[in-house]
Amino acid sequence: MSELTFPIVQDYLASLVPLREAELQEMEDYAGKNNFPIIGPVCGYYCYQLARMIGARSIFELGSGFGYSTAWFAKAVKENGGGVVHHTVWDEELSGRASRHLSKLGFADLVQYHVAEAVESLRRESGPFDIIFNDIDKEAYPASLDVIKEKLRSGGLLIIDNMLWSGRIFDSKDFSPATEGVREFTRRITGDKDWIVSLAPVRDGMIVAYKK
C-alpha cells in the first residue's frame, strides 16, 4: 500500500473515463495549455453520471468558466429528455467562448447564459433545481449555502468543487479567506441535518450533498 499514492490513483481514475467528444478534448487541451482551472474529465464524468442517475433536467451552475462543466451537465440533460443548464460567469469573453463550444457540441438550445454574479443570479431564478453546482470564489462559499438550500428541490443534489483545496485546509497556519471559506462551508453543510453529505477525494475534492 505504500506505493499507492494520490497521483497514481488520480491517473488511474482518469484512465477509466470513456473517450470524450473532440470538442470536449479541445477544451481540456486549452485548459492545460493556459493553466485554466476546470473540473477535468474524472469529475466531469462524475457530474454527468449523477445528473443521469437522478434524471436531472434543471441545473444551475454557480461559476461556469468557459463551459467545460456545463458541457457535461448539458450532455446529461439532453439524454434525460431536455431541459436547461444555467451557465454563470462575470466575464463576457468566457461566456462567449462557452457559447461557441457548447453550440459545437449540439447543446445550444439547452443552455441559458448569465453574465453576472452567480449567487445573485441564482437568487433571481424561481427554481427549484434538480442540481446546483458550486464552483465560485471559495471565500464566498459559506454565504451561498442558504440561497442554494432554498433553490434546490428536495431529493436534489448539490455538487461542490475544490473541497480539499490542494491540501490547504489541513495547514493549521492558513487562515486565508478562501481556505477559511472552504472549511466553514464544509462544517456547515456536514452539520446540517437536512443534508446527506459525502466528500469524494477525486482531483481537488468534490462534495456531493443530497437535500432531504
Reported as a pLDDT band with limits 50, 70 and 90, residue 4 is confident
pLDDT for 189 equals 98
Reported as a pLDDT band with limits 50, 70 and 90, residue 38 is very high
Mean pLDDT of the chain: 96
pLDDT for 2 equals 57
Q: Is the pLDDT of residue 1 over 60?
A: no
- 73-101 confidence digits (pLDDT tens): 999 999 999 999 999 999 999 999 999 99
C-alpha 95: how far from its chain's center? 16
Reported as a pLDDT band with limits 50, 70 and 90, residue 127 is confident
Domains belonging to the chain, first-starting first, are 6-211 (3.40.50.150)
Instruction: Give the global pTM.
Output: 0.94
Q: Are 71 and 107 in contact (CB under 8 A)?
A: yes
- 103-120 confidence digits (pLDDT tens): 999 999 999 999 999 999
pLDDT for 80 equals 98
Reported as a pLDDT band with limits 50, 70 and 90, residue 25 is very high
- 128-176 confidence digits (pLDDT tens): 999 999 999 999 999 999 999 999 999 999 999 999 999 999 999 999 9
